[in-house]
Structure formats: C-alpha cells, structure tokens
Amino acid sequence: MPTGIQIRDARKQLLDAAERILRREGPSALTSRAVTTEAGCAKGVLHKHFADFDAFLAELVHDRVARIEDQATALRKSAGTGSVADNLNGALMDLFDPVAVAIVGLIIFRDELRARLRHTRPAHSVPVLTEASAMIAAYLTDECEMGRLAADADIDSLALSLIGAGHLLFTARDGTPPDAGAVDKVVTTIIADVVQRRLL
C-alpha cells in the first residue's frame, strides 16, 4: 500500500494479519515485515502504532487474554448443564486453537516479549496459560458448589492438569488439532475421581 493513504483501524488490521500468519505458518514466520505485508500496508504503519515489534506482540497477547476472559464467562454459564466432561472438552477445543498455541510458543521463546509482559503481570506466569487455568478453576469451583464434583476436589491441581495436558495434546502434532475423542479421553481421566466421589 502506498504511503500517505490512511488505513482504517490499522491496529486491528495488523493484529488480524498476525493471527492469519500464526494460523497459516506458525510463530517462526511472524516478523514485522510479514505482518505489514499480510496487512497490505507500509512497514512504517506498525511502528506508528507500536513502539517496536515486541510492543506489538504484547498487544497480540493482551488481545488473546481478553478473548479468554470472554470464553470464561461462557464456560461458567454452562455450569450445571450438560456434562462436566463435555463442557471441559468444548472449552479446551476452543481455547487451544492454532493461534493460541502459537502465541504461547512466542511467549516461551522470545525473551524480549516475556520481559515486556513481566511489567504488567506476575513474574512467573505464562500469559494465556495462566488465564486459561483460572478459567477452568472458576468453572470447576461452580460445579463443586452445585454438587456435580466432589466437595473436596483440589480445584487448582485439576485446572493445571487439564490445561497442561490440553496444551500438550494440541502442540504434539504437525499443526493438526487432536480429535474430540482424544481430548475427551484426557479430560475424563483427569476428572474421573472427583466425578465419581460426588456420588459417595
């Protein structure tokens, strides 16, 4: 795109372009030039809106965290309906889309990005995974209060187990997500004890 032409909502256009690249090619392909080329704008547009590329990536992370907060609201509304396993399966399938998995990879492998995120977050947290774990924990707490899980369930450990296992499931492939049956098997195994003991 020639310089001098105003782009409407350039920040959103750049973030959307980054997500398309992550979905299509993964985190190794995400550069400032790739983003501006994908967005169809001059390279200077990115630097007009963001101090540097890591500031742009931090915004990409914050945008994904905001989406998880929306997912958390929907998941908590499902408490008491359907089965706990089905609700968790759906949550993990939605959560670990290719973009989210790629963003976690960026956070882990880019020191500069982690340093920038540390200014606004707890030092040892991994954004996206931390919010995902909180989302699952809040949902499981609601299900405990409704009597659908054992009252003494270790919610934090269950949430960490579900997020850790889910992340491994979705990153252990060649970009192809696991099928619903594989996710269900892991979820059912992790929550089996607290589901069974609610009946005792």
Per-residue pLDDT at 115: 86
Per-residue pLDDT at 200: 59
Per-residue pLDDT at 125: 80
Per-residue pLDDT at 3: 45
Per-residue pLDDT at 185: 97
d(CA 61, CA 135) in angstroms, rounded, equals: 16
184 pLDDT band (50/70/90 cuts)? Answer: very high
Residue 4 has pLDDT above 50, yes or no: no
pTM equals 0.89
Which pair of tokens denotes residue 183?
A: 């996710």
Domains belonging to the chain, first-starting first, are 1-49 (1.10.10.60), 53-197 (1.10.357.10)
* Per-residue burial over 24-57, b = 16 or more CB atoms within 10 Å of its CB, e = otherwise: eeebeebebeebbebbebbeebbeebbeebbbbb
Residue for token pair 């939605």: 94
108-165 pLDDT per residue, tens:
999 899 888 888 776 678 999 999 999 999 999 999 999 999 999 999 999 999 999 9
Per-residue pLDDT at 2: 44
Per-residue pLDDT at 177: 83
Per-residue pLDDT at 5: 41
90-103 pLDDT per residue, tens:
999 999 999 999 99
16-72 pLDDT per residue, tens:
999 999 999 989 999 999 999 999 999 899 999 999 999 999 999 999 999 999 999
Phi, psi of 7 (to 5 degrees): -100, 130
